[in-house]
């Protein structure tokens, strides 16, 4: 059983490739503009996207507004001749200050008309990968027209760069190649609607995660305790399997009850989630390890569990413990061993 507020839909600014595809298929034409290089304090990071329709409609952003007009004009010309463009803009100090920067700099933007410079089939495949929560990178050779999608599964220097960029969520240039990272949104599954879970949901949202709380005990997972949060009242293993576990998902067990935590750990350990943490003392974890060994899990599998969960920052209150957990999750995501 699931109790939830109306789900928070992805905003249009999160769906730029999808909107470009829709515009192209509707017949009005579409262009995608990507930030490929910029100064350090730019308002929009490398990889930011702007979609421009043949009617001049826009969705997304490549700057704080200081170059959008020029990009739209170039995009309409690109739509007419089918050729990509690599634009460079020098932003003056005055213009930079107007969009919240301390000083000016340079920004480079790749403009690609859909169906020409960016093949329609490739854009379709990108949209399909995004819909299926499949981490993928779009690679464009800035010296030519070569474009492709890759998971970075090979052993070449470029593949290794793709792997690193997917892991760190960082689009950017590798020589003449622009690598645009398309990772699924981050998710956090919290097993146990305990006190710590309340601030953990809030901190998770603030750091870009979509949290879900799992607890079959109705009194714990009440909407009054978790207003606006998604609460799954199924048994933890069933709830996790239904929710889905992938490389962009973290799982934390907080119940202290083996009847609830252990089934969740069994499912999580067999998945490719990037983080698994379990609340409890070292003594509690030692007993947990014995149970998992008896259930047939290897030492390497069990070693994936962060326990006691959270960075050791001397946390005492539920909010401080939640902060330590989120810091540990962030470390695993951004600084993998």
Structural domains of the chain, with CATH: 12-182 (no CATH), 186-334 (3.40.50.720)
pLDDT at residue 10, rounded to an integer: 45
100-140 pLDDT, tens digit per residue, is 445 566 789 999 999 999 999 999 999 999 999 899 999 99
Beta strands in 122-224 (DSSP E): 136-141, 147-150, 172-174, 177-182, 186-191, 209-214
Average pLDDT, the chain: 90
pLDDT (mean) for 148-166 = 93
Which pTM was predicted? 0.75
Quote helix, strand, coil % in the chain, to nearest 5: 35, 25, 40
* 256-307 pLDDT, tens digit each: 899 999 999 999 999 999 999 999 999 999 999 999 999 999 999 999 999 9
Task: Write out pLDDT tens, residues 220-264.
Answer: 988 889 999 999 999 999 999 999 999 899 999 999 899 999 999
pLDDT at 94: 64
Q: Label residue 122 left, alpha or beta by phi (over 0 means left) and psi (-120 to 50 means alpha).
A: alpha
Give me 192's structure tokens: 């146990």
Q: Is residue 5 scored above 90 in pLDDT?
A: no
Task: List Cβ neighbours of 58 (8 Å cut-off, separation of 6 or more).
Answer: 50, 51, 52, 68, 72
pLDDT band at 38 (very low <50, low <70, confident <90, very high): confident
Question: pLDDT tens for residues 68-97?
Answer: 889 999 999 999 999 999 999 876 666 655
Q: Average pLDDT, stretch 161-184?
A: 93
pLDDT at 1: 62
Better pLDDT: 32 or 334 = 32
pLDDT(98) > 70 = no
pLDDT in tens, 178-230: 999 999 989 999 999 999 999 999 999 999 899 999 999 988 988 889 999 99
Which pLDDT does position 4 carry in this prediction? 52
Is pLDDT at 148 greater than 50 in this prediction? yes
Q: Is the pLDDT of residue 62 over 80?
A: yes
Decide if 158 contacts 139 (C-beta within 8 A): yes
CA distance 141 to 149: 12
**What is the pLDDT, as a whole number, of residue 144?**
87
Neighbouring residues of 99: CB distance < 8 A, sequence distance ≥ 6: 43, 63, 64, 65, 66
- Flag whether pLDDT at 9 surpasses 50: no
Single out the residue of 104, 108, 103, 109 nearest to residue 91, CA to CA.
104
pLDDT value at 167 more than 50: yes
């Amino acid at each position: 059983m699931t109790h939830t507020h109306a789900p928070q839909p992805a905003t249009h600014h999160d769906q730029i490739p999808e909107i470009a595809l829709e515009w192209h298929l509707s017949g009005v034409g579409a262009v995608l503009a990507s930030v490929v290089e910029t100064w350090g304090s730019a308002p929009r990071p490398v990889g930011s996207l702007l979609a421009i329709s043949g009617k001049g409609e826009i969705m997304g952003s490549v700057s704080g507004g200081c170059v959008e007009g020029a990009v739209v004009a170039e995009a309409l010309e690109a739509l007419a001749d089918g050729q990509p463009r690599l634009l460079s803009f020098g932003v003056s100090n005055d213009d930079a200050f107007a969009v919240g920067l301390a000083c000016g700099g340079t920004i480079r933007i790749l403009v690609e008309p859909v169906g020409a410079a960016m093949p329609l089939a490739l854009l379709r495949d990108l949209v399909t990968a995004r819909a299926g929560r499949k981490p993928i990178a779009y690679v464009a050779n800035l010296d030519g027209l070569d474009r492709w999608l890759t998971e970075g599964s090979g052993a070449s220097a470029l593949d290794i760069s793709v792997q690193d960029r997917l892991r760190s969520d960082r689009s950017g240039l590798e020589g003449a190649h622009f690598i645009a990272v398309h990772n699924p949104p981050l998710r956090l599954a919290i097993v146990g609607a305990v006190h710590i879970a309340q601030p953990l949901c809030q901190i998770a949202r603030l750091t870009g995660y979509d949290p879900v709380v799992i607890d079959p005990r109705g009194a714990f997972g009440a909407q009054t305790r978790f207003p606006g949060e998604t609460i799954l009242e199924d048994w933890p293993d069933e709830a996790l399997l239904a929710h889905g576990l992938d490389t962009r998902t973290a799982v934390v067990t907080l119940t202290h009850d083996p009847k609830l935590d252990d089934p969740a750990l069994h499912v999580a350990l067999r998945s490719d989630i990037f983080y698994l943490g379990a609340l409890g003392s070292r003594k509690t974890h030692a007993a947990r390890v014995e149970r998992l060994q008896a259930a047939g899990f290897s030492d390497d599998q069990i070693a994936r569990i962060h326990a006691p969960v959270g960075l050791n920052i001397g946390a005492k209150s539920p909010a401080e413990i939640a902060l330590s957990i989120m810091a540990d999750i962030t470390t695993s995501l951004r600084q993998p061993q």
